[in-house]
Structure 1
Amino acid sequence: MEVQIFGTKSCNESKKALRFFKERRIKTHFVDLKDRPASPGELKRFADRFGAEALLDRNGKQFRERGLHVAHVPEARILPLLADDPLLLTTPLVRSGNHLTIGWDEAKWKTWITP
């Protein structure tokens, strides 16, 4: 089993996700969104499963700094906005094969690793 985690080095939830899988000796591939944004196809995969709204971190610092907290962001505009500025994403985005999660979801991850 291998897990891909999209997040930032400064995100506590991403750090916790990395630690969760490391403690269970599961190989992880970490993608730091500050260095390399998630591809539009990768974002679409998560949006198809959870909806684009779930990907947008409306409580995050970047959301407020860009002034988006006072603007209406329509669903159709979210994916292009996230592709342009990956720091607006709710992190971590975790993927293992067809399994996907957004944010901290220890209970779901445990179901992935139990036989």
Structure 2
Amino acid sequence: MSATITIYGIKSCDTMRKAMKWLEAHSVAYSFHDYKKQGIDTVTLKQWAQNVGWEKLLNKAGTTFRKLPDSEKENIDESRALALMVAYPSLIKRPVLDREGEITVGFKPEVYAGLFVVN
């Protein structure tokens, strides 16, 4: 029986395309959740944050974060970060791979190879 795999992100993101191409090349079945179109809820983000930490989820290097007013960026804690990520899904690092509750943030071929049996 195969694991249920969902990859979360934004279709237009280059890193997302690389991750999905890797999954397809290695015959890993997955479903794609575009949180720019489908949104993301606080409950899901809280679960991810418990799993990997909110700091790892928040993309501070991206344009969306840099464009936020300084008042939004100062003294960020978990609840504020989660609220910002719900309001601006582009703030979530990509991709987020959910393998039956096991969360992996970002894409590195060697990490994905360790998650899946690669022939």
Asked if 1:109 is matched to 2:112, the reply is yes
CA-based RMSD of the aligned residues comes to 1.9
Counterpart in 1 of 2:66? 64
List runs of 5+ in structure 2 lacking aligned partners: none
Identity %: 25
**How many angstroms apart in 1 are the aligned matches of 2:5 and 2:17?**
14
**Structure with more relative contact order (C-alpha pairs < 8 Å, separation 6 or more):** 2
Shift of 1:73: 1.7
Contact 1:6 1:94 in 2 (8 A): yes
**TM-score under structure 1 normalisation?**
0.87
Asked if 1:13 is matched to 2:15, the reply is yes
Number of aligned residues:
115
Q: Deviations over 1:64-108 (max 9, x none)?
A: 112358633223311122112211111110111132101113323
Shift of 1:61: 0.7
Distance 1:74 1:99, change over 3 A: closer
Contact 1:6 1:38 in 2 (8 A): no
Alignment of 1:75-94 (within 5 A): 75-94=78-97
**TM-score under structure 2 normalisation?**
0.84
| Counterpart residue type for residue 5 of structure 2 | V
Counterpart in 1 of 2:98? 95
Asked if 1:28 is matched to 2:30, the reply is yes
**How many angstroms apart in 1 are the aligned matches of 2:26 and 2:97?**
15
**How many angstroms apart in 2 are the aligned matches of 1:76 and 1:19?**
34
List runs of 5+ in structure 1 lacking aligned partners: none
What's the secondary structure of 2:30's corresponding residue? Answer: strand
Contact 1:55 1:102 in 2 (8 A): yes
